[in-house]
């Protein structure tokens, strides 16, 4: 099984969240933050082609003329996870015969755009991340909750960790 972009994102944020998600325990459907992200995605860049699905990845929008994969996010608080999620998309497209692209993280509320490229060292890191994701998803019980992380209080899985 190849991971989705969500798996990559959760791996970088919280191993427990990754494990829960990978075991079909999904709390996002009731999350205000997820709903806000969906509304932002639907209302931003309305003239652009949206949501291309390639196997396990779903790309927010794709500029085929300029070969740019865009990932739209509402906040840059988790920018490292966003960056690696987008690099994974670039990796996936390259290694599955779609082609070589560059990326752009788009934060419309912040009026910020971040160009993203895939380096050889990134490809090695992504291969390691994929192996680690498989290892985490295949353990019997979820990892322990993170302690003292500021983003936990807004997480859709909060109640499964702390209540």
Please, what are the domains in the chain? 5-162 (3.90.320.10)
Burial of 9 (0-12, 13-18, 19+ CB in 10 A): buried
- Find the mean pLDDT for residues 91-120: 96
pLDDT of residue 31: 47
Residue 111 dihedral angles phi and psi, to the nearest 5°: 55, 45
Q: How confident is the model at residue 130 (pLDDT cuts 50, 70, 90)?
A: very high
Higher-confidence residue: 33 or 17?
17
pLDDT of residue 45: 58
Higher-confidence residue: 158 or 9?
9
Model pLDDT for residues 35-90, shown as the tens digit of each residue? 555 555 455 555 565 789 999 999 999 999 999 999 999 999 999 999 999 999 99
Using CA atoms, how far residue 30 sits from 21, 27, 36, 155, in Å, is 14, 6, 11, 11
* pTM assigned to the model: 0.88
Mean pLDDT of the chain: 89
Instruction: Concatenate the DSSP letters of all residues of 24-84 into one string.
Output: T---GGG-HHHHHHHHHHHHSSTTS-EEEEETTEEEEEEETTTTEEEEE-S-STTHHHHHH
């Amino acid at each position: 099984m190849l991971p989705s972009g969500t798996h990559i994102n959760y791996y970088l944020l919280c191993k427990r969240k990754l494990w829960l998600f990978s075991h079909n325990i999904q709390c996002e459907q009731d999350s205000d933050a997820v709903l806000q992200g969906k509304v932002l995605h639907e209302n931003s860049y309305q003239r652009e082609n949206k949501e291309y699905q390639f196997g396990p990845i779903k790309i927010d929008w794709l500029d085929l003329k300029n070969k740019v994969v865009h990932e739209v996010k509402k906040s840059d608080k988790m920018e490292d996870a966003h960056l690696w999620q987008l690099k994974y998309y670039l990796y996936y497209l390259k290694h599955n015969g779609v082609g070589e692209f560059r990326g752009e993280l788009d934060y419309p509320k912040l009026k910020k755009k971040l160009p993203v490229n895939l380096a050889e060292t990134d490809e090695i890191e992504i291969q390691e991340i994929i192996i680690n994701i498989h290892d985490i998803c295949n353990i019997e019980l979820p990892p322990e909750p993170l302690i003292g992380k500021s983003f936990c209080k807004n997480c859709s899985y909060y109640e499964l960790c702390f209540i």
